[in-house]
Amino acid sequence: MSVFNFDIIAESTTTRARAGVIQTARGKVETPVFMPVGTLGTVKSLTPDELTSAGAQIILGNTYHLYLRPGCDVIEQFDGLHKFISWKGPILTDSGGFQVFSLAKLANITEEGVTFQSHIDGSRHLLTPEKAIDIQTCLGSDIIMCLDNCIQHPASHAQTRQALEITSRWAKRCKVAWQAGVNGHNAIFGIVQGGMFKDLREASSEALIAQDFNGFAIGGLSVGEPVETMLEIADFTLPKLPNEKPKYIMGTGTPEDLVELVALGADMFDCVLPTRNARNGQIFRQQGTLNISNAKYRHDTRPLETGCACYTCCNYSRAYLRHLFLAKELLAYRLNSLHNVYFFLNLMKQMREAILADDFESFRKDFYKTLNN
Amino acid sequence: MSVFNFDIIAESTTTRARAGVIQTARGKVETPVFMPVGTLGTVKSLTPDELTSAGAQIILGNTYHLYLRPGCDVIEQFDGLHKFISWKGPILTDSGGFQVFSLAKLANITEEGVTFQSHIDGSRHLLTPEKAIDIQTCLGSDIIMCLDNCIQHPASHAQTRQALEITSRWAKRCKVAWQAGVNGHNAIFGIVQGGMFKDLREASSEALIAQDFNGFAIGGLSVGEPVETMLEIADFTLPKLPNEKPKYIMGTGTPEDLVELVALGADMFDCVLPTRNARNGQIFRQQGTLNISNAKYRHDTRPLETGCACYTCCNYSRAYLRHLFLAKELLAYRLNSLHNVYFFLNLMKQMREAILADDFESFRKDFYKTLNN
């Protein structure tokens, strides 16, 4: 039996937002939660200590990347990713599906799995549902994701149906492989596909629910569709998933997306936005983003965001951060990332507090008021 | 009157090594001391907190770099470099002389000063002794260096003599400019030049001593000459300088250089070696360097250096650091830098303890025994 558990402790009476607690073998996660992305075993430029200080409870590792580099043979030496990267909290790993279809070359699908060429050295690999579970088990992941067949956007109804049907059959094989393993310490989540078609999202949800996963993710969103479409599909799909299970929207999104998706009942999120944009000089703030390279910050002695309690804002000015960024100093990427990650984590915390106080609607109003001021 | 003070608290009876305390307006510095280099207002990739944890007491800022970027107009907004970069301890700034002659384009010397073109945007500037003091005063430096005329190696006796004579006249003007300023809170050091010629080193020393600086630096070493020559010139020059003043060897060196130069009576050092080499994957250790990209570390679960108390060694393995380095992850440069800086600072601390115990000779023997084992 898995130690994994999910309890809802508060629900908004005016939206579908809810606050919960996920229990894992490596500790609790309070939801709604944002998971910083540690693609290659590092949330780019930051240490685990900094992530913890910023409020991170759980991070994400990418199976595709870690399988190719450094490889499972290395991570096995450390009994998994946690000890290898020195992160003590829970880790969720994706299945590699998304990267195989977006990053790798010549991905070729059969019923068995997907063959692809590494984007690093062109070496050929076969990723099957069973292998995706094996790799994630080797990584010591606390939340394992099923292998899914991700498609390009836009895609036809027929293509999308075919992909979701393979995804459903692979999910079944993933569950079997996971159950056959020695693990009782982790959880397995299914991934709903179905593109931008509601009937297919419904069919995918039903197929996965029948297999009783520990949680359910919605994949294939934020792939280039308009925000309205993304929200419409999430709005349609989230209620189809069992309320007593965590609901995870993969690879999303902007602060506005997160607020809207929490309102629609989503519990978990991951996105490279805070770290990637930090490295490009874009800073997230309640008042909206700023680009630190802008000449108007040359003499600006204020922190990135007035009132922000992050390490960067407590110690550094816009003028200094602009100087570091223009000089391409490594510290720039780090201090910007620290602020952005803190901003995302703090936004989730604020939403959770609003849900606990059953005050989510006024939080949302204030959020947009500050943003557009 | 300056608060600057230097006390020698112990002297080795078998070498010229000595341990002292430099008092500055921003706190004490225990010597012999290594000063991490914060060229552009950041010791590359590290925060001031990390430097302090690693044992840094004083850091160096480069006048040439900071004058060009972000410029004094920006740093003035913060009443100097300390607040701008969030470093509370003492800062020594160089005069810009070395960079004008090594980095800038078309450096052209007259008695007045040196004109040069920025290596960044080609803009033309004139650096005079008075301006070098002005800039360093604006930076709020705790230890100001005189503008010196640095020459290429090798150089003829005549060229070298000419350069040191300009350096001496500039030193006089620097002292006058410094005295005329509002500052009583900082110190000013003269820089001995004279290339690889002992008679010129002696002449330069005498000219500077006549002007009674707070401390004396030896410049123009580690510029491409054999180590033996560097040590021979240092061995010759160091005793010519007043023993009651701090003696600073600029831009040096390897751990072996530091041990030898401390034995010869030097008190202060700065070098980019620990941080630059860290970014290239070279790790300093008591047993000698290792290159973290080496395939033999692929599965190595040991820290970079067994027994090392630095943050990197306390938390990470060679296998992880190799993975980060090969993946060009920003965290690699940071964790490697942290170890190397710690190594240099700890080496100085060990030397100081050996001097205090009048045990420097056996420390030196052990140092080479471990290194060559």
Digit-coded pLDDT (tens) for A99-149: 998 888 888 999 999 999 999 999 999 999 999 999 999 999 999 999 999
Q: Is B220 left (phi over 0), alpha (psi -120 to 50) or beta?
A: left
CA distance B114 to A29: 62
> How close A321 comes to chain B (CA, Å)?
9
Would you say residue A267 has pLDDT above 80?
yes
Q: Cβ A70–B319 below 8 Å, yes or no?
A: yes
Over residues B288-301, the mean pLDDT reads 98
- Residue B330 touches chain A, beta carbons under 8 Å: yes
Mutate: best of B320, B324, B326, B335, partner A, most A CBs <10 A: B320
User: Which residues of chain B does A322 touch, with a Cβ-Cβ cutoff of 8 Å?
Assistant: 70
Residue type, B102: S
Would you say residue B72 has pLDDT above 80?
yes
- Residue A86 touches chain B, beta carbons under 8 Å: yes
User: Which residues of chain A does B326 touch, with a Cβ-Cβ cutoff of 8 Å?
Assistant: 69-70
Q: State residue B183's pLDDT score.
A: 64
Nearest CB neighbour to B329, from listed A44, A84, A331: A44
> How close A34 comes to chain B (CA, Å)?
21
> How close B73 comes to chain A (CA, Å)?
8
- Residue B327 touches chain A, beta carbons under 8 Å: yes
Please tell me the pTM assigned to this model: 0.97
Size of interface A-B (CB pairs under 8 A): 102
pLDDT per position as a tens digit, B174-200? 999 999 986 678 999 999 999 999 999
- Residue-averaged pLDDT of chain A: 96
> How close A326 comes to chain B (CA, Å)?
9
ipTM score above 0.95: yes
Q: What is the DSSP track for A241-301?
A: S-TTS-EEETTB--HHHHHHHHHTT--EEEESHHHHHHHTTEE--TT--EETT-GGGTT--
More confident residue, B275 or A103: B275
Catalytic site positions of A: 94, 270
- Residue A327 touches chain B, beta carbons under 8 Å: yes
pLDDT per position as a tens digit, B255-270? 999 999 999 999 999 9
Q: State residue B104's pLDDT score.
A: 80
- Residue B67 touches chain A, beta carbons under 8 Å: no
DSSP state for residue A240 in the 8-state scheme: G
Nearest CB neighbour to B298, from listed A74, A320, A329: A74
What is chain B's alpha carbon radius of gyration, rounded to the nearest angstrom?
A: 20
Residue B2: pLDDT band with limits 50, 70, 90: low
In three state form, how does the secondary structure of chain B look?
A: CCCCEEEEEEECCCCCCEEEEEEECCEEEEECEEEEECCCCCCCCCCHHHHHHHCCCCEEECHHHHHHCCCHHHHHCCCCHHHHHCCCCCEEECCCHHHHHHCCEEEEECCCCEEEECCCCCCEEEECHHHHHHHHHHCCCCEEECCCCCCCCCCCHHHHHHHHHHHHHHHHHHHHHHHHCCCCCCEEEEEECCCCCHHHHHHHHHHHHCCCCCEEEECCCCCCCCHHHHHHHHHHHHHHCCCCCCEEECCECCHHHHHHHHHCCCCEEEECHHHHHHHCCEECCCCCCEECCCHHHCCCCCCCCCCCCCHHHHHCCHHHHHHHHHCCCHHHHHHHHHHHHHHHHHHHHHHHHHHHCCCHHHHHHHHHHHHCC
Catalytic site positions of B: 94, 270
pLDDT per position as a tens digit, B302-344? 999 999 999 999 999 999 999 999 999 999 999 999 999 999 9
User: Which residues of chain B does A330 touch, with a Cβ-Cβ cutoff of 8 Å?
Assistant: 44-45, 330, 333-334
